[in-house]
Structure 1
Amino acid sequence: MAATIKDIARVAGVSTATVSRVINNLGGYNEETEKKVMAVAKALGYRKNENARSLVQKSTNTIGVIMPDVTTAFYGDIIKGIEDTSYEHGYSVILTHAGSHGSRIHESMNLMGERRVDGLIIVSVELHETAIEALTSLGIPFILLSTKTNREDTPYIKVDDYSAAYTAVKYLIDNNHRSIGMAGANPDDSIAGSPRINGYTQALLDHGIKVDLNLIKPGGFSFESGKTAMQAFIEDEASITAVFCASDEVALGIMSTCFENEISVPNDISVVGYDNSKVSHMSIPPLTTVAQPLYEMGREGCLEVIAAIQNKCKIESKVIPHELVVRKSVKKLT
């Protein structure tokens, strides 16, 4: 439970009125008291409610966004879509990070509750039952982007990861690749990890290619994960001609390690990414990748939340289409 002014007063041995004056910088106390009160407030993790003045108002015109720690370029376009749309409709945006694997999701929700946001958008954070209950208890419109739960009362917008991965691997097969590795994605991640792995394996099976589990190098969606995977392929002396990557940054990691080992992309090995984030067209060669409409996802999610705030309407879940963006990182085998 969040610390209150009363808690600070009790621990610091002063009145609640004194704590209120210190917290709100109103004067009428000495420096020693100020230091003591601020030290106790910090120790108790007290957060001042910046929107206290708006308690009598029905709306704060604020939309909250909760996302993981930003370690990839994936989130930039989604956030831009949210921010552009919010400002167009007279809303401001508060961003907070839920930590690695959503470890601080409850703290993030508490913060959003304190700031009395009108609506909430959660990006790429896997929510477990207690987090879903906490989210629902806020009593405000919300939507999940690029993630989902198994409950019908948690609306989401996302791409079908299984189908998108299948599309990418089928493209490699159509270019006569038969020995295809996969890099990145955590099989324990039921939202984006295992569906992409399953799409990869099913595409192989549907085209008569045996699945070799040694050619699947699981990990995260980061550049470092791609570098590690490619190093493992090299050490295994894997006879792959192509790699499907669980993200564009994984693909860049693959290509970086290839460069370091004088392996040519696409002449020696073909690479397909996932996301079509901004880095995909900056790579050398430019990366063929599965596009998620990231900006549009942010914009659409924000519009849904604003409509629910203003019209009290229910938000429906949507699966949005993906597409393959063909560039220069895949070679057709003869």
Structure 2
Amino acid sequence: MTVTIYDVAREAGVSMATVSRVVNNNPNVKPQTRKKVFEAIERLGYRPNAVARGLASKKTTTVGVVIPDISNAIFAEVARGIEDIANMYRYNIILCNADKKKDKEISVINTLLEKQVDGLLFMGGTVTQEHILAFKSSSVPIVLCATTDDNNAIPAVDIDHEKAAFDAVQLLISNGHRNIGMISGTLQDPANGYARFQGYKRALEEAGIPVIDDHIRVGNYRYESGIEAMKYFINLADKPTAIFAATDEMAIGAIHTIQDANLRVPDDISVISVDNSRMASMVRPLLTTVAQPMYDIGAVSMRLLTKLMNKENVEVTKIVLPHEIIVRKSVAHVK
């Protein structure tokens, strides 16, 4: 049988209102009475009914989080930042994996809203018109995490992906490289794909280096697509002396392909990327990469959402966090 608040009140010899005050940490309860109630709760194994409390307060203290790929260490780090701040503010998390598929993202968003979450954090790729329509149907705050919408209409926390890519390619140029290939993410993705491609392109143009179509391959962010792209580059008559990969995972695929071809990184081909996942410091040579503050992106997104959920005054709803280049061993200087 389920233990109810009535059972606890009877066991402790107090009213149900007193039990409710104790459970909800109301200070207006005598210490001796509080002790009696907690002892009764422990003896009976009572657990407060979160659904009932939510109906009464019109709050579920639950936040929905849509994550593109739960197996990706980068998103796991963001989720950790979200959870730590959620715990600090006593919110529970419902984490949903969307597999980077638009239809599943929309379905998950609607499911979370139906579950009466108090707020929603969306980590994904392209924010389409269908996403916007789903967001507009929501009566609770929504924050974009590690992505943005085209019109900057929805609160968001991210880095400047175009500048991150620009800085990475500029480092290669400053080391004498002029024949630079790019392994890009899908160009339909505004952040990890298109913005990083634009940063690559701008760095070359500002250095007076022509942008060559044959030096650009589009991957899917995964290790295997880095392998396939690098096989293509190695077979070019005028192969690049350096590769800029849009993600660490694709960069590591490229490094292994270079090594499998009996070439050396960075002596024969340099490699740089964006992310600074844990894998960047596990591969050999250690991967030079642009660090995204993934934990901070998650933590700041959750803090922004708590402010919106509590109707606090928020002056800035578009937050751009800084990135930095972590120089390791995968980039060499060429004459």
TM-score by length of 2: 0.81
SS where residue 57 of structure 2 aligns?
coil
Q: Superposition RMSD on alpha carbons, in Å?
A: 1.7
Paired amino acid for 1:319: V
Which residue in 2 is equivalent to 1:141?
141
Which residue in 2 is equivalent to 1:13?
none
Distance 1:241 1:106 in 2: 42
Which residue in 2 is equivalent to 1:132?
132
Paired amino acid for 2:209: I
Which residue in 2 is equivalent to 1:223?
223
- On the 8 A contact 1:271/1:287 being kept in 2, the answer is yes
| Deviation at residue 207 of structure 1 after TM alignment | 0.9
Q: For 1:122-159, what per-residue CA distance to the aligned partner results, in whole angstroms no more than 9, with x for missing partners?
A: 01232212321221221111110121112343111111
| Deviation at residue 330 of structure 1 after TM alignment | 0.5
Distance 2:96 2:136 in 1: 18
Which residue in 2 is equivalent to 1:181?
181
Paired amino acid for 1:192: N
Higher-Rg member (1/2): 2
Identical columns (%): 35
Which residue in 1 is equivalent to 2:327?
326
| Deviation at residue 72 of structure 1 after TM alignment | 3.0
Distance 2:293 2:77 in 1: 9
Which residue in 2 is equivalent to 1:151?
151
Distance 2:124 2:106 in 1: 15
Paired amino acid for 2:192: A
Which residue in 2 is equivalent to 1:28?
none
1:72 equivalent to 2:77? Answer no
SS where residue 211 of structure 1 aligns?
coil
Q: For 1:193-239, what per-residue CA distance to the aligned partner results, in whole angstroms no more than 9, with x for missing partners?
A: 11111111111111121111101011121111111110111222442
Q: Structure 2: where are the runs of 5+ without partners?
A: 1-48
Mapping 1:166-205, distance limit 5 Å: 166-205=166-205
1:61 equivalent to 2:61? Answer yes
Which residue in 2 is equivalent to 1:3?
none
Distance 1:128 1:208 in 2: 35
SS where residue 56 of structure 1 aligns?
helix
- On the 8 A contact 2:288/2:331 being kept in 1, the answer is yes
Paired amino acid for 1:296: D
Paired amino acid for 1:306: T
Q: Structure 1: where are the runs of 5+ without partners?
A: 1-49
Q: For 1:97-123, what per-residue CA distance to the aligned partner results, in whole angstroms no more than 9, with x for missing partners?
A: 223332212211122122211111101
SS where residue 190 of structure 2 aligns?
coil
Which residue in 2 is equivalent to 1:95?
95
Which residue in 1 is equivalent to 2:292?
292
Distance 2:246 2:153 in 1: 28
- On the 8 A contact 2:168/2:272 being kept in 1, the answer is yes
Distance 1:288 1:152 in 2: 31
Closer, same or farther: CA 262–72 of 1 in aligned 2, 3 Å: farther
Aligned length: 285
Q: For 1:226-260, what per-residue CA distance to the aligned partner results, in whole angstroms no more than 9, with x for missing partners?
A: 11110111222442111000000011110111122
Paired amino acid for 1:333: V
Q: For 1:24-76, what per-residue CA distance to the aligned partner results, in whole angstroms no more than 9, with x for missing partners?
A: xxxxxxxxxxxxxxxxxxxxxxxxxx975332332111111002133532211
Distance 1:270 1:153 in 2: 39
- On the 8 A contact 2:63/2:121 being kept in 1, the answer is yes
